[in-house]
Structure 1
Amino acid sequence: MDDDEEEEEKLLKKEPNLRQNPSNINELVQYLGTSLRNDQLQSILASVLALGIDYELLPEGDRHFPNLFHSLTNLLADEAESYLRLMLESVQYDMSGLEWLPPAPVLNVNSSDRNRKLDMLLTMGVTVTSLSEDDYTRFKRHLIENNVLHGYTEDTIESPCHLVKLLFERGHLVTDNLKNVFDWLIDSDCSYPKQLRRYCDRYDVEAPRERCWKSVACSS
């Protein structure tokens, strides 16, 4: 067993304490580095763009969750744990035993622009990572063929968080209008998760009703 495996085994054994003792925030963050699913981590990596953190520019190794949280702490100071809770809840991480984490920022029409962007990117991350492999391929292909991601191929879009980053940086994602996102998904024959519609409900953003034709898309 190598050092990484031994460390992971130790953290797994500590899970009950990590989930109940707020003095263990650093150990909890270490544990999250091994317990977050890849799709959850992808969504979180995409979301930190709203905070001015580009995961691709972090030093080698900082894509590992503990180092990413360290960057959040440097930026947000005492608020970092509240934003940690927001991210974990948004990606549907198991929050049992983590009630000691501070409340997440309230997200509504009165939220700051930064928080709305963070919420939007988390929602987009969840939307993209929830697609099946076939749906994700069709979605990428649709964006490329319709010049939304001009200059890229299916192979050069490295990951779901990379795809969200490209859409955000090219100005295709704005907090008060996600109509194009619904259109891309429907036109590429993909369903969308309930989180996307809930985002629209939180901010009174218009969402399509008549075109909601798949049971998965229409779920609440």
Structure 2
Amino acid sequence: MALYYFKPRRAFDFDPHPFKLGTIMGLKRGYEDNHFLLKIYGMKEKSFDDYYRYHLKYYLSAGDRTEKEFFSHLWYIVSTRIDYFNHQNPFSKKHPLYVSNIKKLSGFLDFLSPKDRWNVRPNDILLKEKDELIAKLQEENKKLSDFTIMRKIEIYDDYHTTVIDLFQQMQKLKLPNGAPLLRKDMLSPYYKIVSNYFSNNKKKISIDTAKNYFVGKDNSQKEVKIPEDRQLFVIVPKKKD
């Protein structure tokens, strides 16, 4: 059964896992938090997740514990230790070490933050993140508004398939050097343009309807054909003088 939050090193274990906590004499009860933080000071950020999961697995092995409890304890000991270092004498000989430790622990808190599914962190942090998210969404919405149209291009008399036929022809056009004018392996832009920017007799053209005319080679048997009486125009290259 797990007695600690973190997996301890056994006494006289001469080849311990690098994430186990303690000394050659084992892990003294009451000092496990210190040993956990000591590991962080010398750890690279890319190892944070493995470190977290290693000790979480040990903690949950007791069977009656939750990740929320483990996360809460981690957040508490790390933030408390940062607060401790921040209140030390800035003119102390150990000040550079304190600054380094604060930076490392702050990085660990940054790593922990996205894992907070329970809103365990202080309210000021949660509110700040909420405000930042709202500001980000507002900015994205502002950018999207540049592409919002007030009124779609109207196609009269149910000739929407004629417009689709023109798009299909455009896919087959080639430049003077023989290269295709348009890349046609990506079909979604075509039917999205038809659905989003055109209307048929003032009625919406659903994206599913438009998609039926742009299905690609692999599903060509499923493609809806343009009726001949709607194939009214032919796009041809301009003749050279």
Q: TM-score range by the shorter chain?
A: under 0.3
TM-score, normalization by structure 1:
0.26
Q: Which has the higher contact order (CA 8 A, sep 6+)?
A: 1
TM-score, normalization by structure 2:
0.25
Higher helix share: 1
